[in-house]
């Protein structure tokens, strides 16, 4: 549980401090604690979309994901951030798909770092 909370904090810091470096219009609106909600929404929507893709493609989605070397996953991450910006316009300002793509990459890197530190 502690590890999950640390991962949540790290990803929230990425949303607050690194997203504006990608594009000045790509930022959390209002209270910086809104970034926690953005990260939780990102994790949940991303999980749901990935499960639905696996179910609808009868497992072939995983094969496509691995054959694309994870690029398809980054596209899904960017799409999820755009969706969060559309569904919650008072929490996250997303200027377009490409900043969302790079933001998804940063969130993936933060998640990877936390997973690697968990195994030690």
State whether residue 92 is helix, strand or coil: strand
State if pTM tops 0.95: no
Cα distances from 67 to residues 60, 77, 104, in angstroms, run: 11, 17, 19
Q: pLDDT value at position 59?
A: 73
User: What gap in Å lies between CA 5 and CA 117, rounded to an integer?
Assistant: 13
Write down the pLDDT at residue 120: 61
Q: Give the model's pLDDT for residue 116.
A: 82
User: CA-based Rg of the chain, rounded to a whole angstrom?
Assistant: 14
24 vs 20: CA distance, rounded Å: 5
Find all residues with CB under 8 Å of 18, minimum gap 6, and list them. Answer: 103, 106
What's the pLDDT at 86?
A: 95
Return averaged pLDDT per consecutive 10 residues of the chain, 120 residues in all. 88 93 92 92 92 81 77 90 93 94 93 80
Q: What is the pLDDT of residue 70?
A: 78
CA atoms of 41 and 86, how far apart (whole Å): 12
């Amino acid at each position: 549980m502690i590890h999950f909370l640390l991962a949540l904090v790290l990803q929230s810091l990425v949303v607050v401090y690194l997203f504006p470096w990608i594009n000045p219009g790509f930022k959390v609106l209002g209270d910086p604690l809104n970034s926690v909600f953005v990260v939780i929404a990102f994790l949940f929507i991303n999980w749901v979309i990935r499960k639905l893709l696996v179910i609808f493609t009868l497992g072939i989605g995983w094969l496509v994901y691995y054959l694309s070397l994870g690029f398809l996953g980054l596209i899904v991450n960017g799409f999820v951030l755009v969706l969060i910006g559309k569904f919650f316009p008072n929490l996250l300002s997303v200027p377009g798909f490409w900043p969302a793509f790079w933001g998804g990459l940063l969130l993936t890197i933060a998640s990877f770092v936390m997973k690697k530190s968990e195994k030690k």
